[in-house]
Amino acid sequence: MKKILLLFISLALIISPQVLKAQGCDDDAGDENNDGKPKVWGYVQPQYEYHFTDPTTNTFKFKRARIGVTGTIPYDFKYYVMVENSAFVSTSGYPYLLDAFVSYTRYKWAKFSLGSYKQPFGMEVNTPCHKLHTIERAMVSDQLVAPQRDMGFMILGGDKETFMKYSVALMNGRGLGIKDNNNKKDIIGRVIFKPLSFLSVGGSFRYGFPNTDDADRVSYAAELELEKGNFLLQGEYIYDEGDYNRAAGGGCGSDPLTLGEKRSGAYVMAMYMTNFMLQPVVKWEYFDTDADIADNNFYITTIGINYFFNDWTRLQINYQYKAEKGAEIPNDAILVQVQIQF
């Protein structure tokens, strides 16, 4: 590990500076803000849900309501702070700090961040929430990449235009607003290669101790993205075993499930942007909560349509067909969300 870090730092000394891509709610927030002035930005996502349960349920809610500030400080430092205001996401019902980190960004291949942010694991989790192609993330992303946010120190380099980009972090492993309760830290990393202009492949790794110094956790992920013209195809597989933090939650408001010793899942998603600003989306996913138990898989097929009124306003409509291998239950859903960025 020490040799790898020294190699990256040595490469950084001969590479020109570049603005950091944030590892919070946005992947380019503040990139044009190089005059030192703070930039206030955010988005709201009011949503309607109808669930075909027995009995049926329906509700209006805010999926997310976030506001933050980002900016640069001469020279080569960047700050980023984001607050979640939706009571439907917060367990306490009050706004809470989501992302807050300071970054040193002088070198393209060795940038440093310290604070609270998303752990560098998985493609879908590291897709900003307001740029998701379906309203919900896949179950495997929400349940296994948890906690999605944590406190830690990260080294990262490269960008979307380079052949490779990487992120390596040392994190508490406990989640947001929770004091670390053991002496060990999680080691988390993600690397992405772009061998062709339209193809990206990558993988993630995590090794940590989510609860005690004695019970560990190991996670792996593989990802693929193919973008050709207006067509986009994404896929990801995640495997996880060992201990897990049962209090960390499953992501942006989803309820954590009881997991076995070994669990895994995957999704494949395809979409096409038409000339009418309509983008049909199809997503298939499965999630196995316990590999040692037969007939324990969840399957979800999402059929959706995204309509972009402009660069800041979007309408999403999703129908989720849910199937369980062991025993079919009525739990399909229709989700409708409007998003405004500012």
Cβ-contact 254, 144 below 8 angstroms: no
Asked if residue 19 has pLDDT above 50, the reply is: no
DSSP single-letter state for residue 284:
E
At 177, phi and psi to the nearest 5? 65, 20
Q: Cβ distance 86 to 96 under 8 Å? A: no
Confidence of residue 35 (pLDDT cuts 50, 70, 90): low
C-alpha distance from residue 88 to each of 3, 97, 254, 314, 331 (Å): 45, 15, 10, 21, 20
Work out the widest C-alpha separation in the chain, in whole angstroms: 64
Share of the chain above pLDDT 90, in %: 73
For the chain, give the mean pLDDT: 88
Q: What is the pLDDT of residue 131?
A: 95
Candidates 128, 118, 144; CA nearest to 285 is 144
Question: Could you tell me which residues come within 8 angstroms of residue 267 by beta carbon, excluding any fewer than 6 positions away?
Answer: 124, 138, 140, 141, 234, 235, 236, 283, 284, 285, 286
Model pLDDT, residue 291: 93
Task: Note the Cα 155 to chain centre separation in Å.
Answer: 18
Provide the sign of the torsion angle of the four alpha carbons 60, 100, 110, 20, taken in this order: positive
Q: Report pLDDT for 247.
A: 77
pLDDT digits (tens, 9 = 90+) for 255-289: 888 999 999 999 999 999 999 999 999 999 999 99
User: Does position 311 have pLDDT exceeding 80, yes or no?
Assistant: yes
Specify the pLDDT at position 29.
43
CATH topology of domain 2-341: Porin (2.40.160)
Query: What is the pLDDT at residue 248?
Result: 77
CA angle at 190 for the pair 186 and 192, rounded to the nearest 5°: 175
326/159 Cα distance (integer angstroms)? 43
Q: Of 15-29, 122-136, 138-152, 289-303, which range is least confident?
A: 15-29
**Which residue type sits at 257?**
L
Q: Over the stretch 202-239, which tens digit does the pLDDT of each residue have?
A: 999 999 999 989 999 999 999 999 999 999 999 999 99
Higher pLDDT, 215 or 253: 215
Q: What is the pTM of this model?
A: 0.89
Task: Count the residues in the chain.
Answer: 342
Which of 43-57, 211-225, 321-335 shows the lowest per-residue confidence on average (mean pLDDT)?
Answer: 321-335
Token duo for residue 17:
């500076």
Q: Which residue is listed with tokens 């296994």?
A: 144
Strands (E), the chain: 39-51, 57-73, 77-84, 96-107, 110-118, 149-157, 164-171, 186-196, 199-208, 217-228, 231-242, 262-272, 278-288, 297-308, 313-324, 333-341
Write down the domain spans for the chain. 2-341
Confidence of residue 58 (pLDDT cuts 50, 70, 90): very high
SS3 at position 64? strand
97 CB contacts (<8 Å, ≥6 apart)?
A: 81, 82, 83, 116, 176, 177
Predicted local confidence at residue 26, as pLDDT: 60
